[in-house]
Amino acid sequence: MSEGQSATARIRWTQEAGQAYGVLTSETLRYTVLEMIKSFRHKGLQAFFETGSKAGIHPPHAARLGRQLARLDLAKTAADMNVPGWGLHALVGNLAGRYAVSVSGNWRLVFRFEGEDAVLLDYQDYH
């Protein structure tokens, strides 16, 4: 086998800050994933992230939330979530230290970082 291949899948490798990240190009592969999302406040969001279940979220938000969660899982800082159209912003008041990106309308994905890990992810309609 060559680097980036196994008997069951191929991986595209990218190098970023000395860390190799693999992107699956087929269905099954056993390898260590560098997970940056460590905890959730919203159980429906956690189920969506872990299983794809849309039962605890608004189904029309699934595609965008999926992209946002995938990016957040690779992010090391809040600035890594500064994607055009997502409206990354720091929260203030009792939510100081947390950040939010727009999902749709008043719905936001809210998170904070502890070191390089995203924690306490929430899915909120807050206005």
pLDDT digits (tens, 9 = 90+) for 9-32: 344 444 444 444 445 444 444 444
pLDDT of residue 126: 81
The larger pLDDT score, comparing residue 127 to residue 3, is at 127
* pLDDT for 94 beyond 70: yes
* pLDDT for 116 beyond 70: yes
pLDDT of residue 34: 57
- Whole-model pTM: value is 0.73
CB 65 within 8 A of CB 45: yes
Q: By percentage, how much of the chain surpasses pLDDT 90?
A: 70
SS3 letters for the chain?
CCCCECCCCEEEEEEECCEEEEEECCCCCCCCCCCCECCECCHHHHHHHHHCCCCCCCHHHHHHHHHHHHHHHHCCCHHHHCCCCCCCEECCHHHCCCEEEEEECCEEEEEEEECCEEEEEEEEECC
pLDDT of residue 36: 86
Mean pLDDT of 49-78: 95
CB 71 within 8 A of CB 118: no
> In which band, very low, low, confident or very high, does the pLDDT at 33 lie, cut at 50, 70 and 90?
low
Instruction: Kindly report the average pLDDT of the chain as a whole number.
Output: 81
> In which band, very low, low, confident or very high, does the pLDDT at 118 lie, cut at 50, 70 and 90?
very high
CB 21 within 8 A of CB 102: no
